[in-house]
Amino acid sequence: MENLLNALVLLSNFVLIPAIAYGAQLALGALGVTLIYAVLRFSNFAHGDTMAFGTAIVILFTWWLQGQGIGLGPLPTALLALPVGILAAILLLLVTDRWVYRFYRARRSPPVVLVMASVGVMFIYNAITRFIIGTGDQRFEDGARFALKVGDFKALTGLDQGLAIRTSQIITIVVMVVVVSAVFWFLQRTRTGKAMRAYSDNEDLALLSGINPDRVVMITWILVAILATIAGTLYGLDKSFRPFTYFQLLLPIFAAAIVGGIGQPFGAIAGGFVIAISEVVVTYAYKGFLTYLVPESWAPAGLVQMLGTDYKFAVSFIILVIVLLVRPTGIFRGRVI
C-alpha cells in the first residue's frame, strides 16, 4: 500500500504536475495562434517570438522593480511587471499589423503570403528581442520558490517519496484558468467578442452587418499580445527564458492548435494539454515508479524511458501526425487548412 502511494507521489511529482503546468503554458500559446488563424486566417510564424518579446520586456521591468526593492512577497515580482510587458507587446503587434499585415488584408492576399510576411516579422522580432535582452539564459523568478516543499510533504505524510509544488506551477495554473475564463467570457458574452466570432465565421456577412473589420482585427491582436506575454512569462518563470527556446516552442504550440482543431479556442486548450501530457509521459523514465510497484527481483535494469528527453519535439510531431491521420480536423473539428 505504501509502495503504491509512493509510486503515485513520484508520478505526480515528476509527471502530473509538470505536465499540467506545461500544458497550461502551451494552451495559452496555442489559444493565441488559433485566434490569429480564426480571425486573420494565417499561421503566424512570429508567435513564438511575440512571446519572447513580451517576456523580455516583463523581465527587464522585473529587474528594475527588484532594483527598486519593490516585490510581491512570496509571489514573483514578474506578475507586477506583466502589464508593462503586455502593453509593449500590444504596441508591437499593432504597429506590425499597421505596417505589414494590413496591406495584404486589404488586397485579400492568399494566406501563404501572410505566412511568408510573418516569417519576415519573425526575423525582426528575433532581432529586437536579442537586441534588448541578449541571447543568453535569463532567470527572473523570485519570491518563495516552493508552495509545498519535499521535506514538509514527507513530514506530513510519512512517505519516502516527497512531493514538491513550485510557486510558479501554482501561479501558472491559476493564471491560466483566470485568463482562459476571461477570454471565453469575452468571446461568448460580450458584443465585441461575438462580433469577433461572427467575423471569423463569415467575413462577408459580418461586413454586411456593419461589423468593423479593423476593430475586430485590432481586438484580436490585443488579445494575442495578452495571451502571448502571459504564456511566455509563465513559461519563463517555470523553466527559464532564452529567446531561442521560445522560437522552438512554435512547434508544440502549432501542434496543440492543430490537434485541438485550428481556429477553435476550446481546441487550443485541449490540444495544449494533450501535447504537454504526452510529451512528459513519453519522455519520463519509469524506473523509480516501477521499482515501487513490482517485486524487488523484477526491478527494471534500464531507465524504462520510452523516448529520451532530447526527443520531446518528436512527441508533438508524432501526436500531430496521429491526429491528422485519424481525424484531420482535430479534436474540436477546426477548419481544414
Partner 1 sequence: MSFLIGEKMTGGYGGADILNGCTIAVEQGEIAVIVGPNGAGKSTAMKAVFGMLRLREGQVRLDGQDITALTPQDRVRAGMGFVPQTSNVFVSLTVEENLEMGAFIRDDDFSGTMAQVYDLFPILKEKRRQPAGELSGGQRQQVAVGRALMTHPKVLMLDEPTAGVSPIVMDELFDKILDIAATGIAILMVEQNARQALNIADRGYVLVQGSNRFTDTGAALLADPEVRRSFLGG
Partner 2 sequence: MSQTTRGVLLYAVMALLIVAVGLAQSWTLALAILNLCLISAVMALGVNIQWGYAGLFNVGIMGFAALGGIGAVLVSMPPVPGALGAGGVNLGLAALAIVGTLGAALYVRERAPLSLRKPLGLATVVAGYFVMRIFLDPASEAIEAVDPASAGYLGGLGLPILIGWAVGGLFAAGAAYLVGKLTLGLRSDYLAIATLGISEIILAILKNENWLTRGVKNVTGLPRPVPDERVLQEAPWIADLAARFGTDTITAAAVVARLAYACLFAAVLLIVLWLAERALRAPWGRMMRAIRDNRDAAEAMGKDVTGRHLQVFVLGSAVVGIAGAMLVTLDGQFTPGSYNPLRYTFLIWVMVIVGGSGNNWGAILGGFLIWYLWVMAEPAGTLIMNRLTSGMESGPLRDQMLAAAPHLRLFLMGLILLLVLRFAPSGLIPERTRR
Pairwise CA distance, residues 214 & 123, whole Å: 25
Q: Can residue 211 be called a binding residue for partner 1 (CB under 8 A)? A: yes
- Please, are residues 235 and 25 in contact by the beta-carbon 8 Å criterion? yes
Least gap, CB of 127 to partner 1 (angstroms): 38
Least gap, CB of 337 to partner 2 (angstroms): 4
Least gap, CB of 188 to partner 1 (angstroms): 9
Q: Can residue 198 be called a binding residue for partner 1 (CB under 8 A)? A: yes
Map grid coordinates 502571459 to a residue: 230
- In the list 20, 27, 173, 320, the residue contacting partner 2 (rule: CB under 8 A) is 320
Binding mask 240-269 for partner 2 (x = CB under 8 A): ----x--xx-xx--xx--x---x-------
Window of 17-25, 204-212, 235-243, 286-294 that interacts with partner 1 by CB under 8 A: 204-212
- In the list 4, 72, 91, 113, the residue contacting partner 2 (rule: CB under 8 A) is 113
Q: Can residue 63 be called a binding residue for partner 2 (CB under 8 A)? A: no
Q: Can residue 314 be called a binding residue for partner 2 (CB under 8 A)? A: yes
Question: From the list partner 2, partner 1, none, which binds 321 (C-beta under 5 to 8 Å, kind-based)?
Answer: partner 2
Question: From the list partner 2, partner 1, none, which binds 143 (C-beta under 5 to 8 Å, kind-based)?
Answer: none
Question: From the list partner 2, partner 1, none, which binds 314 (C-beta under 5 to 8 Å, kind-based)?
Answer: partner 2
Q: Which amino acid is at 211?
A: I
Q: Can residue 202 be called a binding residue for partner 1 (CB under 8 A)? A: yes
- In the list 1, 106, 208, 325, the residue contacting partner 2 (rule: CB under 8 A) is 325
Q: Which CB sits closer to partner 2, 180 or 256?
A: 256
Window of 48-56, 197-205, 218-226, 271-279 that interacts with partner 1 by CB under 8 A: 197-205
Q: Which CB sits closer to partner 2, 1 or 325?
A: 325
Q: Which CB sits closer to partner 1, 160 or 201?
A: 201
Residue 249 CB-density burial (10 A; 0-12 exposed, 13-18 middle, 19+ buried): buried
Q: Can residue 151 be called a binding residue for partner 2 (CB under 8 A)? A: no
Q: Can residue 206 be called a binding residue for partner 1 (CB under 8 A)? A: yes
Q: Which residues of this protein are in contact with partner 1, per CB under 8 A?
A: 191, 194-195, 197-198, 200-202, 204-211
